[in-house]
Amino acid sequence: MNKENRFIGKKVPRKDAADLVRGKAQFIDDLKIPGMLHAKILRSPHAHARIKKIDTTRAKELPGVEAVLTYEDTPVWRAGLPSHIGVLSNTVRYVGDAAALVAAVSDVVAREALELIEVEYEILPAVYDVLEALEEDAPQLYEQFPGNRFPLACPWMGPESLQGIFMGDVAKGFAESDIIAEGSCSYENLPNPLPLEPPGVIACWEGPEDLTVWASAQSPYFLKITLHYAMGRINVRSIASHCGGSFGTKVLLWQLAFYAAALAQATRQPVKMYYTKTEHFAAYTLRLGSRFRGKVGIKKDGRVMAVEGDWLINTGYCSDAAQGMVAVGCGELQLMVRCLNWEIKPQLVCTNRNASKMVRGYGGQELEAAFIPVLNMALEKGNIDPLDFFRENFVKPGDGYYWRDGNWWVSRGIDYGKAMDRGAEVFGWKEKWKGWLRPTAVDGSLRIGVGIGVHGNADVGEDVSEAYVRLEPDSTVVIHSCLSEHGTGQRSSLCKMVAEVLKLPIERISVAPPDSLVNPYEFGPVGSRGTYAIGSAVIRAAEDARRRLLERSATVLNVSADDLDTEDGMIFIKGKGGGKSGKKIRWKDGLGFDRTCLGHGYFEPDFSISNFLMVFVEVGVDTKTGKIDLRRVVAATDVGKIIDSQSLKNQLHGCLGSAGLDSAIFEESVFDPKLGRFLNPNMLDYKWRTFMELPQFDTVILETPMDTHSFQSVGVGEIVNAPTPPAVLMAVSNAIGVRLADYPLTPDKILRALGKA
């Protein structure tokens, strides 16, 4: 845009700000549907067992109970990838798996009914470790997946979805390497993203084949599509409430919808399934467990000649997104490491714990957190500064890579070297970096260390978006995009874009409720795609609506549409230099008081541009106690053009939460393999960083125009977690002078590494 923007890059109150602070925003637990029942789940105390007998008689007789369902009387709906999970089964596969469902007039009655259900289990052998699950005599979770291996294909990403990285001649690459490092690292401590609001769904059958679902969904239209196919091609209307945080975990809510819909079908009443915080902790989805063993070959100048390795992935008892996470993770690794010779072999393994599904970082965080420490061994041998290495190796314009669809893409993005250098300057990297396994400073028992991480994602242009923009005669505008608000302010950012295109006060722009009945298809705000993919569709819809408005108005003013422009709800004939002439009319004069004007916008997937983030961290380690303090974080990026500065900074600060940076230090769902269950499913025992413990946090945000849409920007929200765990691991290793390769870095591990425990 040649002239100064009115709203893009400016501080503008969020559209939902007043409702949020006044308590008027409707979250799923605020919704009350007439006749609504409350659902509860009887959960298995065993990690692996067969239900021999289940008696629900007493529960059904309890006053207020409307339905009790077991595997014997639930519908035949199936989901997962490939399809392998029904509503209920006669086999439970993790502690917390559903054995029976109850619907009652109140939450209290439903809980009482659970205690009246009697179950006789045949306990089966369980397996929790990926290597043990792959052994020939390991307990088998599913007959259809022998060897406990899930297939790697992800059909919804394309018929040739990426199932590893295989290219070039790895043997030749290692033969040409000056330095070869080999090792392993695991990132499988199962940090819990845990958004503030637990997941919830309300289901109501409007007819035998017509289901309406209200959900705390990040992607309501994608939920509609998932349920449509999983439930036998029924008609699904999906409506999103305000979503109290997601971090990716509320994209695929089909399992909760299964439970609520089955009970709603049995009772012929609306049913709400809303998890407690304990269920959210112990029975909902987590990040993938990731274990990498391999080797890296490099030249003395830092060029990577060959990479090979085995990537073992623990997805728990179920998979519905892990295949996609494998594909994206393998693509993202290529953005970070420029290399011609690859052999990365993933294996997706099911075990007897709760499922790992979509989480912010989506595959790349899991792979890179385990891979980068092995890469660092090669850099250490070559005494190569990691900043210099990443600056040289991060994808450049013209570089190619295989992306998640299995196709070869050539980058048409920008060079992020300037952002890296600026971040290093703000952090003081040159002064603080003393070399591998060397502390920046020593003060008694305190050791200071620094580290960096880098990440990017070409999913900024993933999947299809569609939008309508409707112009009203009174010069107000409605955006029709099935985009839910999940805390990032994305709906407000769309309003800013449309206001800019139509030159209207932003107060006149609104967004239709996220309801699949009134909005076109929208994949959802995942993978940082909101700014480029969703934004492109909405901008094009606004431009189309503007064109139609001017074409209609041209007949009134008896001029060509090219001679017209609009601003602040007025249509005018352009004067010399593009300015306003004396003649102008209102929108309703051009449209007519009884007409609206509808514009349509569409976005097709484009994986030729990636986003970028480099994070610099400084830690202090007390060698007497093993305690780690995060002292400072600098996050550096380039977004093309800032749409909303405050939302962007909030996104960058989000690397401290949602199973991000602190998963390297203390965040951990502690799993006991003897009991097969988590030991800390509560807000007291699960370790969090409080506001009193926040480090100094600085952001470096550059604006280099990108070839995306009118505002030349990309989003970065999804990627801010991914580079942080290995950056912290590097910093702590440098501080204490010992190479570490396991997360989280709890005090006992630090003391053991120092030979003090």
Mean pLDDT across 214-240: 96
The model's confidence at residue 4, banded by pLDDT at 50, 70 and 90, is: confident
pLDDT in tens, 667-698: 999 999 999 999 999 989 998 888 889 999 99
Least confident of 324-328, 349-353, 683-687: 683-687
Least confident of 61-75, 86-100, 190-204, 405-419: 190-204
The whole-number pLDDT of residue 579 equals 64
Which element (helix H / strand E) includes 314? Answer: strand 304-314
CA 172, 178, 181, 182 dihedral sign is: positive
Q: Angle 319-320-325 (CA atoms, 0-180°, nearest 5)?
A: 90
Report DSSP state, residue 534: I
User: For the chain, what percent of residues have pLDDT higher than 70?
Assistant: 99
**Nearest of 369, 327, 281 to residue 81 by alpha carbon:** 327
Which amino acid is present at 20?
Answer: L
> What is the SS3 assignment for 332?
helix
Which amino acid is present at 408?
Answer: W
Q: Which residues contact 706 (CB under 8 A, 6 or more apart)?
A: 413, 414, 609, 640, 641, 712, 713, 714
Ramachandran area for residue 408 (φ above 0: left; ψ -120 to 50: alpha; else beta):
beta
pLDDT in tens, 454-495: 999 999 999 999 999 999 999 999 999 999 998 888 999 999
pLDDT in tens, 37-69: 999 999 999 999 999 999 999 999 999 999 999
Structure tokens at 48: 């692996």
- Maximum separation of any 2 CA atoms in the chain, in Å: 87
Mean pLDDT across 607-630: 97
CA distance 247 to 528: 11
Mean pLDDT across 246-274: 96
Residue 373 has pLDDT above 90, yes or no: yes
User: For the chain, what percent of residues have pLDDT higher than 90?
Assistant: 91
Report DSSP state, residue 4: P
**Nearest of 348, 344, 360, 248 to residue 289 by alpha carbon:** 348
Residue 1 has pLDDT above 50, yes or no: no
Residue 576 has pLDDT above 90, yes or no: no
Ramachandran area for residue 582 (φ above 0: left; ψ -120 to 50: alpha; else beta):
alpha
The whole-number pLDDT of residue 191 equals 87
Rg over CA atoms, the chain: 27
CA distance 466 to 392: 37
Mean pLDDT across 167-195: 95
Distances (CA, A) of 660 to 195, 432, 544: 13, 24, 40
Residue 727 has pLDDT above 80, yes or no: yes
Q: Which residues contact 708 (CB under 8 A, 6 or more apart)?
A: 461, 531, 532, 535, 536, 609, 640, 714
The whole-number pLDDT of residue 658 equals 83
The whole-number pLDDT of residue 189 equals 80
Report DSSP state, residue 729: H
**Nearest of 219, 124, 159 to residue 514 by alpha carbon:** 219
The model's confidence at residue 580, banded by pLDDT at 50, 70 and 90, is: low
Least confident of 36-40, 359-363, 596-600: 359-363
pLDDT in tens, 396-409: 999 999 999 999 99
Q: Characterize the bridge pairing of strands 696-702 and 628-638.
A: parallel
Q: Which residues contact 162 (CB under 8 A, 6 or more apart)?
A: 326, 327, 330, 331, 402, 403, 404, 405, 406
Mean pLDDT score of the chain: 95
The model's confidence at residue 577, banded by pLDDT at 50, 70 and 90, is: low
Mean pLDDT across 509-522: 97
Which amino acid is present at 132?
Answer: E
The whole-number pLDDT of residue 487 equals 87
Residue 125 has pLDDT above 90, yes or no: yes
- Cβ pair 38, 531 in contact under 8 A: no
Structure tokens at 227: 């349920």
Structure tokens at 446: 């305190």
Which element (helix H / strand E) includes 20? Answer: helix 17-21
Domains annotated for the chain, with CATH where assigned, are: 17-26+463-603 (3.30.365.10), 31-124+196-245+250-282 (3.90.1170.50), 289-460+608-753 (3.30.365.10)
Q: Taking the CB of residue 31, how many other CB atoms lie within 10 A of it?
A: 17
Distances (CA, A) of 496 to 487, 489, 503, 522, 586: 17, 11, 10, 19, 22
| Beta-ladder partners of 213 | 203, 238
Structure tokens at 178: 């000056």
